[in-house]
Amino acid sequence: MFRIIKKSLKTGVVTGKYPRAETPIVPVVQEAKDKTKLFKRSLTIREVDTGSCNACEMEMNALMNPVYDAERFGIHIAASPRHADALVVTGPVTVNMERALKDVYKQTPDPKIVIALGDCAINCGVFKGSYAVTGPVDKHIPVDVRIPGCPPRPSEILNVFTELRKAGD
């Protein structure tokens, strides 16, 4: 046991610091920033999967782990769209999820921000042309912010969220 402790003390900390994204992928438009001024210093999001491969959902889950810890920036995930300030939509809109997406959009109180997360939500990505896909998110509901990537890194998503949240300061 002492051998293991001695080795770990000799080695020291070996976990690396995750690099932050240099700049947001897409600059947040002023209209989206104006909407977030009412939210003050917190942002509650509701994630809606409309038919993705779940890579973007895994990156969203990584935002809440101890490495990125989005809660420290005032970013929370809501279980209900009625408690959300922003909708984060991942994946192309499939035939089965089209109605559900529109319902969630109606249930979210105004002013609301819609964020299309990932290439699939922006332009259907690899699912383009599929018989089960009805189109990208902005064909069905208005989109305020687009975060491209397949999937986008958690640090890039976090930068966009914090930029939106800071608009309320």
Q: Does 9 reside within a domain? A: no
Please report the pLDDT score of residue 23 as a whole number. 47
Please report the pLDDT score of residue 36 as a whole number. 65
169, pLDDT greater than 70: no
Task: Give the dihedral of Cα atoms 148, 154, 155, 156; nearest 10 deg.
Answer: 10
Quote the domain boundaries for residue 80.
20-166
For the chain, helix (H) and strand (E) counts, in that order, are: 6, 7
Q: Does 99 reside within a domain? A: yes
Q: Does 13 reside within a domain? A: no
How far, in Å, are 42, 97, 124 from residue 57 at the CA level?
A: 21, 16, 16
CA dihedral sign of residues 78, 21, 26, 50: negative
Nearest to 121 by CA among 143, 153, 96: 143
Tens-place pLDDT, residues 3-18: 878 877 777 665 555 5
Phi-psi region of 94 (alpha: psi -120 to 50; beta: other; left: phi over 0): beta
Q: Does 140 reside within a domain? A: yes
Average pLDDT over residues 121-144: 87
Residues 6 or more apart whose CB falls under 8 angstroms from that of 135 comprise 92, 93, 124
Q: Does 109 reside within a domain? A: yes
Q: What domain count does the chain have?
A: 1
Lowest-confidence segment of 19-33, 51-65, 95-109, 128-142 by average pLDDT: 19-33
- Beta carbons of 82 and 104 less than 8 angstroms apart: no
Q: Residue 145 phi/psi, 5° resolution?
A: -130, 140
Tens-place pLDDT, residues 68-83: 888 888 888 888 888 8
**What is the CATH classification number for the domain harbouring 90?**
3.40.50.12280
Q: Does 98 reside within a domain? A: yes
Residues 6 or more apart whose CB falls under 8 angstroms from that of 41 comprise 74, 165, 168, 169
Q: Does 6 reside within a domain? A: no
